[in-house]
Structure 1
């Protein structure tokens, strides 16, 4: 059972071990997660789930990731 708002990643550490990838094929992205800094991980993490169910950490500073975040926020604003 998962409680909404509960961190479903490793307790006490960041999910992304390194800076992440700069680009993935947009047509392969199933889901985008933006995880804000927290007491257990002091950095913002951007994680994409691909249609193959593979999860990848995105480099939050890459232009492509910034574009993905902007598009996701625009989409949310329209709903």
Structure 2
């Protein structure tokens, strides 16, 4: 009886340990590939920046376009860097207005 109980405890601990570990190659990035270098700014409805995380090893910039769905922007393009800078400036100005 003690052997069966010890076996179940061992199996349970193994399952808990394995479940918490990321699998090999199981990154959960939203964007596949580098993404587009530019989109027409007048079609941008929303911009979401996903920083580097344990589930995805690179920065992702996802834009929602009016009536055209979502697109991933290449974070290395000048257009995307400009968008990120504009968002950072808006956040800074909003924080300084609250102070």
Q: What residue number does 1:54 align with?
A: 69
Residue 25, structure 1, aligned to residue 13, structure 2 = no
Which whole-Å deviations, capped at 9, do the CAs of 1:50-73 have from their partners, x for residues lacking one?
A: 111511000000000000001111
Pairs aligned (count): 69
Secondary structure of the residue aligned to 1:14 is coil
Name which structure has the greater RCO, CA cutoff 8 Å, separation 6+: 1
Determine the C-alpha separation between the residues in 2 that align with 1:18 and 1:74.
28
Determine the C-alpha separation between the residues in 2 that align with 1:68 and 1:12.
25
Unpaired stretches in structure 1, ≥5 consecutive residues = 1-10
Match of 2:54 among 17, 26, 39: 39
Q: TM-score, length-normalised on structure 2?
A: 0.65
Kindly indicate which of the two structures has a greater share of residues assigned to helix.
2
Q: TM-score, length-normalised on structure 1?
A: 0.80
The ranges of structure 1 where at least 4 consecutive aligned residues each deviate by more than 2 angstroms after the TM superposition are none
Which whole-Å deviations, capped at 9, do the CAs of 1:36-63 have from their partners, x for residues lacking one?
A: 1111111110100111151100000000
